[in-house]
Every structure is written in structure tokens, then in C-alpha cells.
């Protein structure tokens, strides 16, 4: 048995023989966690609004160039991907705070912890792989608007080289800064919730 497990047993024994009501302690921990969970849910909502904004922008650009099929397909694909991201995040958002009444407070906390981490992972899984496609589309759009074809645009060695170098450099940067921003916006609150879950498990 490691030191951490021994410490948990000792702490449980202390609480079992403590005059302080364990239910009161657990309620205090849960109330502390409620504020954290509300902040996480609110910040997830802000993320959804940004995703919805970009969905609208790409949809508008597709409609603006509705007579240029290649451009419509590029902007339409971007709008579709962002739309899927929005509805996926919305699913996680709606599940947060809507747990069944029979769930214990600890299970509610664990569920919210799982949901917010799942939402951020989902965002990364659907958005980061699309970055190369977005870059290729962004490079091609000006030429497509002028009437060129994708084959003629990427048939030029210079354009193809720019596209490859951009993907190699920008994709890791986008992932790095995306993860960094999520850590700034959510990291401390996720850590607080995780710590509260551990406290609740120790008390219980």
C-alpha cells in the first residue's frame, strides 16, 4: 500500500471519529464545486458562440460566391465542420447541470468533470484535423475567385511549396495555442473540480 492510500485511510478514520457532521462537510465541498461547474459551463457556452459566429461567417461567404462552385464547396465545407463542432459542443453543454436527481453529489461532480474534458477533447478532435484543409482552401480561394482551377493553382511549384510549408509550420502552432488558450480558460477550474472530487471521496 502506497503512502497516498495510507493517508486516505487515516483521514477517513479522522472524519469517522470527528464531531463535525460528514454530511455538512460534503455539502460544503459540493457548494464550492457548484460555482466552479457553473463557470466551466458558462465558458463552454462562450466557446459555442464563437464557433457559431464562424459558422455564420463561412455560410455567408459561401452564399456570396454562390455562382462559383469550388469556392462554395470550400466555404460550405468549413461551415459544415464548424456547424458539427457547434452541435457537438452543445450536446456536452446541455448535459452539464442536467443530471438525474438520484445521482449523488459526488457523481454529479464526476459527471461534470467528465463532460467538460470530453467537450474540449471533442473540439480538438474535430477542429485540429481540419486546419490543413482550411489552409489549402485559404490559399486557393483568391485564385478560384479569379476563375482559376484547383489543379492550375496547386500545379504551380511555388504555390504548392507555400501550402506545404504553411501546413508544417501553422498546424502545430494552431494546436499549441489552442491547447494553451483552453488551459488558460478552463485549466484552473478543471483542476479545482478535480481536487474537490478527491476531497469528497476522502470524506465519503
CA distance 29 to 52: 35
What are 153's three cell numbers? Answer: 493553382
* Stated pTM of the model: 0.80
Q: Is 82 inside a domain boundary?
A: yes
Q: Is 158 inside a domain boundary?
A: yes
CA distance 69 to 110: 47
8 Å CB contact between 34 and 200: no
pLDDT at 113: 95
C-alpha distances out from residue 132 to 173, 199, 202, Å: 12, 43, 46
Q: Is 19 inside a domain boundary?
A: no
Q: Is 8 inside a domain boundary?
A: no
pLDDT at 146: 87
CA distance 89 to 165: 31
pLDDT at 3: 54
Q: Is 144 inside a domain boundary?
A: yes
pLDDT at 30: 85
pLDDT at 4: 56
Q: Is 120 inside a domain boundary?
A: yes
8 Å CB contact between 193 and 5: no
- Residue-by-residue pLDDT tens, the chain, 204 positions: 555 565 555 556 655 555 567 777 878 888 888 999 999 999 999 999 999 999 999 999 899 888 888 889 889 999 999 999 999 999 999 999 887 777 788 899 999 999 999 999 999 998 888 888 888 888 888 888 888 888 888 888 999 999 999 999 998 999 999 999 999 999 999 999 999 999 888 876
CA distance 122 to 91: 11
Q: Is 9 inside a domain boundary?
A: no
Give residue 178's domain range.
Answer: 24-203
3-state secondary structure of 66: coil
pLDDT at 187: 94
pLDDT at 105: 86
Q: Is 13 inside a domain boundary?
A: no
The total number of structural domains that make up the chain: 1
Amino acid at each position: 500500500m502506497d503512502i497516498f492510500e495510507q493517508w486516505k485511510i487515516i483521514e477517513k478514520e479522522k472524519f469517522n471519529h470527528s464531531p463535525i457532521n460528514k454530511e455538512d462537510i460534503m455539502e460544503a465541498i459540493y457548494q464550492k464545486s457548484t460555482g466552479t461547474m457553473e463557470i466551466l459551463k458558462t465558458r463552454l457556452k462562450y466557446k459555442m458562440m464563437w464557433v457559431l459566429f464562424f459558422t455564420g461567417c463561412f455560410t455567408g461567404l459561401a452564399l456570396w460566391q454562390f455562382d462559383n462552385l469550388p469556392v462554395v464547396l470550400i466555404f460550405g465545407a468549413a461551415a459544415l465542420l464548424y456547424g458539427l463542432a457547434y452541435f457537438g459542443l452543445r450536446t456536452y453543454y446541455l448535459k452539464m447541470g442536467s443530471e438525474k436527481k438520484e445521482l449523488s453529489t459526488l457523481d454529479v461532480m464526476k459527471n461534470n468533470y467528465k463532460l467538460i474534458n470530453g467537450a474540449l477533447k471533442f473540439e480538438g478532435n474535430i477542429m485540429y484535423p481540419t486546419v490543413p484543409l482550411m489552409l489549402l482552401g485559404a490559399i486557393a480561394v483568391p485564385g478560384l475567385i479569379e476563375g482559376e482551377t484547383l489543379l492550375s493553382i496547386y500545379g504551380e511549384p511555388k504555390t504548392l511549396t507555400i501550402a506545404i510549408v504553411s501546413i508544417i509550420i501553422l498546424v502545430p502552432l494552431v494546436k499549441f495555442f489552442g491547447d494553451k488558450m483552453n488551459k488558460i480558460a478552463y485549466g484552473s477550474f478543471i483542476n479545482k473540480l478535480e481536487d474537490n472530487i478527491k476531497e469528497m471521496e476522502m470524506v465519503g
